[in-house]
């Protein structure tokens, strides 16, 4: 996974650029959804309370956890990438501990996770992140492809847009 992609969640939720890697995260997100859309997401995050931001960040992470569980095998590479995503999220210690503990357990309800993802641009960026996580072990199977389609549908992202978002990532 590209480090810039795993960092965008923390950067956008806090609105703080700490270093060049954070700038790269914003540039990656801008390339995916466009400057205007990303600006709208930044404003949306800024209008949330700290608790609402953390709830949203946890929902993104939980959706990614669901994606890596799609094929029923969570590899060490997937676990490492999830830990990196959690660590880069800038959540408080209690939320970090809860998210790390959840890596080996798929969320009980994808619908409950999706309900906490209130911005359409956030939903699109999540799809790219989930697709990258599914690819981190170098193997995509039908279960992961199906989960991506299901996640896109539940997020309200049209199939054509979901395919275009998926195509922004090229394994390599």
The residue ranges of DSSP E strands in 33-171, in sequence order, are: none
pLDDT of residue 4: 63
Are the CB atoms for 103 and 82 separated by under 8 Å? yes
Fold assignment, 3-166: TerB-like (1.10.3680)
pTM for the full predicted model: 0.89
Instruction: State how far the alpha carbon of 134 is from the alpha carbons of 36, 106, 116, in Å.
Output: 28, 14, 22
CA distance 46 to 154: 25
pLDDT of residue 41: 93
pLDDT in tens, 21-31: 888 888 888 98
pLDDT of residue 138: 79
pLDDT of residue 141: 82
Give the residue ranges of the chain where pLDDT is below 70. 1-5, 169-172
pLDDT of residue 172: 45
pLDDT of residue 1: 47
Ranges of each domain in the chain: 3-166
User: What percentage of the chain has pLDDT greater than the value 70?
Assistant: 95
């Amino acid at each position: 996974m590209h480090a810039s992609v795993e960092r965008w969640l923390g950067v956008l939720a806090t609105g703080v650029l700490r270093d060049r890697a954070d700038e790269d995260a914003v540039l990656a997100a801008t390339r995916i959804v466009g400057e205007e859309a990303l600006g709208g997401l930044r404003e949306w995050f800024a209008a949330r309370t700290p608790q609402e931001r953390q709830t949203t960040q946890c929902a993104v992470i939980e959706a990614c956890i669901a994606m890596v569980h799609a094929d029923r095998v969570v590899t060490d590479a997937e676990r490492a990438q999830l830990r990196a995503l959690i660590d880069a999220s800038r959540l408080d210690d209690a939320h970090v501990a809860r998210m790390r503990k959840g890596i080996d357990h798929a969320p009980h309800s994808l619908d409950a996770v999706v309900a906490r993802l209130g911005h359409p641009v956030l939903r699109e960026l999540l799809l790219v992140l989930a697709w990258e996580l599914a690819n981190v072990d170098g193997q995509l199977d039908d279960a992961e492809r199906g989960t991506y389609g299901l996640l896109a549908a539940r997020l309200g992202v049209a199939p054509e847009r979901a395919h275009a978002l998926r195509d922004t990532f090229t394994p390599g």
